[in-house]
Amino acid sequence: MAKKSKGQELAEKLTWSAPNIAKEAPKQEGKAQKFCEGYKKFLDEGKTERECVAYAVKLLEKHGYRPFQEKTVYEPGDKVYYVNRKKALIATTFGREPLEKGLRINGAHIDSPRLDLKVNPLYEKNDMAFFKTHYYGGIRKYQWGAIPLAMHGVVYKKDGTAAEICIGEKPGDPVFSITDLLPHLSGKQNERPLKDGLKGEELNIVVGSLPFQDEEVKEPVKLLALQLLNEQYGITEADFYRAEIEMVPAFLASDVGLDRSMIGAYGQDDRICAYTALMAEIDSKSPSYTTVTILTDKEEIGSVGNTGLNSDYVLHYIEDLADLAGVPVRRILRNSICLSSDVNAAYDPTFSDVFESQNSCYINRGCVLTKYTGARGKSSSNDASAELLAKVIGILERDGVYWQAGELGKVDEGGGGTIAQYVAHMDVDTVDLGVPILSMHAPFELSSKLDVWNTYRAFKAFYK
Ligand code: MN
Ligand code: MN
């Protein structure tokens, strides 16, 4: 190599930008590919928060985790988990340091934008049967028409037993769909603003078109649909009032690109952080500090409800840990660090005008640290301190993790929030860290495998 000029040497010393991993560490590609096979399976097995919890519990049990119990003596290296109402989960590996030195908390969410069935969903119109929906989370409604949808959920029957529904995932299963207009007749619809391309009350799901054979019945197509559901699940129309049914994209996770460098799938926000956090938790055998890995629900609608992080369920869990050690919970919280692990918007060259290129995250440059989220002057953000950023960057660099920093788009272009503010509310030092995503909240989101791998490495380093 030619000798560097003085200016080149100085620039190397004084300037910084996040390197492209694919250029600087191409050897990571193999490990990333291998790691992401497990991630794709996680995405396919868990398309709802309930399914994610069930699959995570299976993995945790397989790796020696047992349900957390009060009044038990736990040793360093012991592994426990706690499930909150089948929709959220906390896993812990006890650390070598005493609890009062603080916890290492990592919180990701396992709910994703989708279409929920209304409580009274089924109707017939012009000899076709439909489900009415109410969308969940921030969706761009026009993206949900004319794609295959699967039906997932749970229905409680009058006798108290539950029917677990999953239609549209197994090969050969039927799927469902929302209709959209043909271009030949969409002249008027084309004049609508894009946000109204499909309107909320147009997100109606086609369920069937054949009638129950009986001239005397008023709505025979609806009746046949009910008969088929009753035969398979033992449910009746009244049971929809005791149900939670989510319609999600029916396709599986795929490699994307000729080079297979990316993953395309539904629900990567935020199962991408949930999986990497869970794997780092499982792979931490003897951490210094006790770990608290949270897979939470309801982030997409503001962390509401008692399975969302605006509830005290995590605090109560940490209080239970404090009781074991006989130390005040506030001392533990004050000394803890939390990664609020969630995705950020990757710079999209096609829509570059909404990004500020110098402060955006890019695919293939590693996990992204987000000092603050929020909108309009950072309102509703957590805004991590310089001290905490110094500590977390130190942890990442100690282990050679590829990381970058990013804001969510240009100032005043929009914005968003995460669970960070709710964890910080407990007096815990919290910062957002996650994975850059293209087409976030779309039925098919894109991520980079190198970024997934480095996010896992970041979480491993955090739990060392
Ligand atoms: Mn998210
Ligand atoms: Mn989201």
Render pLDDT for 54-89 as a digit per residue (tens, 0 to 9). 999 999 999 999 999 998 999 999 999 999 999 999
Are 380 and 455 in a shared domain? yes
Q: How many domains does the structure of the chain reveal?
A: 2
CA 51–ligand 1 middle distance (angstroms): 17
CA 344–ligand 2 middle distance (angstroms): 9
Q: Is 398 domain-assigned?
A: yes
Mean residue pLDDT of the chain comes to: 97
Which ligand has the shortest distance to the CA of 418? 1
Q: What is the pLDDT of residues 189-246, one digit of tens each?
A: 999 999 999 999 999 999 999 999 999 999 999 999 999 999 999 999 999 999 999 9
- Place 1 in a pLDDT band, splitting at 50, 70 and 90: low
Which ligand has the shortest distance to the CA of 107? 1
pTM listed for this prediction: 0.97
CA 85–ligand 2 middle distance (angstroms): 22
Are 106 and 119 in a shared domain? no
Are 137 and 230 in a shared domain? yes
- Place 415 in a pLDDT band, splitting at 50, 70 and 90: confident
pLDDT number for residue 425 = 96
The beta-carbon contacts of 156-164 under 8 Å, at least 24 apart in sequence, are 156/239, 156/242, 156/243, 157/234, 157/235, 157/239, 157/242, 158/238, 158/239, 163/233, 163/234, 163/235, 163/239
Are 180 and 309 in a shared domain? no
Q: Is 10 exposed, middle or buried (0-12, 13-18, 19+ CB in 10 A)?
A: exposed
Are 453 and 416 in a shared domain? yes
Q: What is the pLDDT of residues 308-363, one digit of tens each?
A: 999 999 999 999 999 999 999 999 999 999 999 999 999 999 999 999 999 999 99
Are 72 and 130 in a shared domain? no
Are 195 and 273 in a shared domain? no
Range of 38's domain?
A: 18-112+266-463
- Place 185 in a pLDDT band, splitting at 50, 70 and 90: very high
Q: What SS3 state is found at 119? A: strand
Are 212 and 294 in a shared domain? no
* Stretch among 173-177, 411-415, 442-446 having the lowest mean pLDDT: 411-415
Residue 215: phi, psi to the nearest 5?
-60, -25
Which ligand has the shortest distance to the CA of 136? 2
